[in-house]
Structure 1
Amino acid sequence: MQLYHHPLDLDSQKVRLALEEEGVDYTSYHVNPITGKNLDSSFFRMNRRGRIPVFQNGSHIIYNTIDTIQYIERVAVVSTGVETESISASCKEVTEWMQKIQYWDPMFFTLSHIPEKYRLCVSKFIRQVVIARMSESPDLAADYHRKLKEAYETEEKLKEEDVLRRSKEHLVKLLDDVEMQLSETPYLAGQDFTMADAVLIPVLARLQLLGLEKEYIAARSNIYEYWILVQQRPSYKKVIGKYFNGWKKHKTLLKTWCLVRVRSLLKRY
């Protein structure tokens, strides 16, 4: 089993948490979307949307995050030799929470909290990468053109206050619902850690990464206690803490930023 992902990517973190929690072995391939590696023709031919994570087991390839997590759960169950009918009865509730969290798109919220000079520099770099790949692989030109159009549309939508307001309101409503649920149970779907938690944790980690922990996490007592609790899990430390705790956060981001700047200056797209 192979996973194409990157530590900076929120959906990649969700899938990796699932893999670690379920104890499923896999081969890891880093594909950094900020430096345009997801646009390399070798990856783009596999997933013409150019998005990560991508999970592959033999000839079976999955792009959707929730589908991937549920597939990982089935693999884990089968590997234990237990009948699939014995999967927890809370599976429906877990799925509902996963879908509810996944329904919030973090892209506009995240980009709106990144300093404009950095955001515009990366956006311009990505557009140049798309154009370069388009000329290298003319058979993929239509798909690359779609990615280029998406990049321009994203920049335009970031100028619309309604888009940013709706994204924030959606997040606040989601966190309020999570806060209410955590007032009744220690984990999102009951007494035990489930894949619903694996989907929620990266959202909280993203808020911390953006320096918004005080406003969105600490302001909600139940989420704050939950956040302290889940950060102690080995899966969190391996998937997220390894890259974003303390000085490691600056190292991870600085390395990516330097790659973008150097390649931009040298025009090596």
Structure 2
Amino acid sequence: MERKGIYSGDDAAVEGNEKREPKEGKRGKSSLLYSLAAQKATPPGGYPRIGHAARNSSDLAEFKLYHHPYSMDSQKVRLALEEKVIDYTSYHVNPLTGKNMDVSFFRTNPSAKLPIFQNGSHVIFRAIDIIQYIEKLSVSLSGEDNPISSKVMEWMEKIEDWSPKIFTLAHIPAKCRLFVSKFVRRVVIARMAQAPDLASVYHVKLREAYETEDRLKDPQNLKQSEEELSSLLDDAEAQLSVTTYLAGEYFTMADSMFVPILARIALLNLEKEYISCRPKIAAYYNLVKRRPSYKKVIGRYFSGWRKYRTLSKTSCFLCIRSMFRKY
């Protein structure tokens, strides 16, 4: 089925774009319809649920999310959308295979970062900005006056301050990391040839790739990233000794931003060093892993054997493309 939007390329390395089928009381797998009528009751540990029955065509709105399950920022936004029960059309854009460098996508977002959230002509790039928009949207639809609290916002900004890039790349086997980096650089060079008018902007991304490799050679950069992460986790451990979730007794947008960090640590097999040694965070992580939003956004890709399936698909895709020099 043809899909319209800023990006329409398909990606064989993942399970494909999702199309969401609205179902009463549950999130479906496809195109987004939502009702302006919201239930007033708040379910335990959650938010007011936004209904799915549209009264007429004027009540319909379309949200599009360009993301990938590997992207931590994408996970943050998807958790927020799932928790708020807002339907959207999902487009997979795999940065490991250079799909975020495709000309049509790059013209819209020269940073090439994920996710991108689109509501009609309104496009938002940063995860924290998208999540704040989702919160405001939910409040508007429910008709309640319940903006993000200062405590939630404080946690969101604290989480946003830690960049996972160096930490993640430093814990990936060098051979694999360099293979992907080399492939993506070749993709960028190929796109420069396709779109000469964007050559200078593509060159910025190429330079960034080399600068990242240089930063990884300095152990001090990794040490700094690890210290910042440990400080964030220590603060969370202290908070979770008082409350069930980061900002109180209910799951909030702060948790939507924090949970993907724990998932990234688990994906890198570093739970013992960063999670298990903090009993409150360990209990918290076990709690959130039971939430439907976690199972849908993260669990289906990275729980148990699934993470090896997800990683192997991308590895095979990269090897085949490299073999035939298809960039």
TM-score, length-normalised on structure 2?
0.80
* RMSD value, Cα: 0.8
1:47 aligns with 2:109: yes
How big is each residue's C-alpha offset from its partner over 1:158-188, in whole Å with a ceiling of 9 and x where there is no partner? 0011111100100011100100000000100
Q: Shift of the alpha carbon at 1:156?
A: 0.5
Shift of 1:78: 1.3
Q: Whose helix proportion is higher, 1 or 2? A: 1
Letter in 2 for 1:132: A
Q: Is 1:220 aligned to 2:300, yes or no?
A: no
Distance in 2 between the 1:191 and 1:115 partners? 39
Which residue is equivalent to 2:189?
A: 131
In the alignment, the residues of structure 1 paired with residue 254 and residue 279 of structure 2 have an alpha-carbon distance, to the nearest angstrom, of 19
Who is 2:81 aligned against? 19
Q: CA deviation at 1:25?
A: 1.1
Task: Map Cα deviations across residues 85-142 of structure 1 (whole Å, 9 max, x no partner).
Answer: x215x61110110110111000000000000100000000010000000000111111
Q: Counterparts of 1:86-125 in structure 2 under 5 Å?
A: 86-87=145-146, 91-125=149-183
What is the CA–CA distance in structure 1 between the aligned matches of 2:153 and 2:106, rounded to whole Å? 29
Query: Which of residues 33, 48, 56 in structure 1 aligns to 2:118?
Result: 56
1:61 alignment partner, SS class: strand
Partner of 1:235 in structure 2? 293
Asked if 1:8 corresponds to 2:67, the answer is no
Matched, 1:161 2:219: yes
Within-5 A mapping of 1:142-221? 142-221=200-279
What is the distance in 2 between the residues matched to 1:64 and 1:119?
25
1:34 to 74, 84, 96: 96
Identity %: 59
Gap runs ≥5 in structure 2: 1-62
Code of the residue aligned with 1:182 in structure 2: it is: L
Q: Cα offset for 1:81?
A: 2.6
**SS of aligned partner of 1:218:** coil
Amino acid at match of 1:8: Y
Pairing 1:245–2:303 present: yes
Pairs aligned (count): 265
* Aligned-partner SS, 1:3: strand
Equivalent residue of 2:91, what SS? strand
Name which structure has the greater RCO, CA cutoff 8 Å, separation 6+.
Answer: 1
Question: Is residue 2:325 matched to residue 1:267?
Answer: yes
In the aligned structure 2, how far is the partner of 1:99 from the partner of 1:264? 39
Aligned partner of 2:40 in structure 1 is none
- Secondary structure of 1:45's counterpart equals helix
Separation (CA, whole Å) in 1 of partners of 2:109 and 2:242: 41
CA distance in 2: counterparts of 1:97 and 1:80, whole angstroms: 24
- Matched position secondary structure for 1:2: strand
Paired residue type of 1:87: N
Q: Which has the larger radius of gyration?
A: 2
Contact 1:23 1:76 in 2 (8 A): no
Distance (Å, rounded) in 1 between the aligned partners of 2:113 and 2:280: 33
Task: Classify the secondary structure of the residue corresponding to 2:230.
Answer: helix
Task: In structure 2, give the amino acid aligned to 1:221.
Answer: P
